[in-house]
Amino acid sequence: MKPEVLIYTTSWCPFCRRAKALLQEKGVAFTELDIEADPAHRKAMIESSGRSTVPQIFINETHVGGSDDLVALDATGSLDKLLAGQPRQTDLSRPIGPLGDASG
């Protein structure tokens, strides 16, 4: 199954170009939404990511962040796993250690 990748961009943004280049190097098709061309895209980006900067990248409806976040995921090998459909490990998915006595 091919990953569904959505990237919110502007035409002048160097970080957008860097993120798109990384995805293209990996042979990943993506949908690009220019937030300058359509103000509705900016609104949708802010509502779904909580951020107003570009790029904002979503893989299989999971917000992965911006260009630096995408590069960091690639450096750890997590990007390939996410593109393959494996869930992204978050702080909530790590073991928290033994639980103490909760009897109060």
Return the pLDDT at 35: 98
Q: 5 pairs with which residues across the strands?
A: 59
Containing H/E element for 67?
helix 67-76
Q: Is 43 within a domain?
A: yes
3-state secondary structure of 27: coil
Task: State which residues form the domain around 24.
Answer: 18-63+76-87
Domain assignment present for residue 12? The answer is no
Inside any domain, residue 32:
yes
Q: Which two tokens stand for residue 24?
A: 């293209």
The structural domain count of the chain equals 1
pLDDT-derived band at 86 (thresholds 50, 70, 90) equals confident
Per-residue pLDDT band for 87 (boundaries 50, 70, 90) equals: low
Joined together, the tokens standing for residue 21 give 């280049």
Residue 104's pLDDT band (cuts 50, 70, 90): very low
16 near 9, Cβ under 8 Å? yes
> Is 27 inside a domain boundary?
yes
Note the pLDDT tens digit of each residue in 22-71. Answer: 999 999 999 999 999 999 999 999 999 999 999 999 999 999 999 999 99
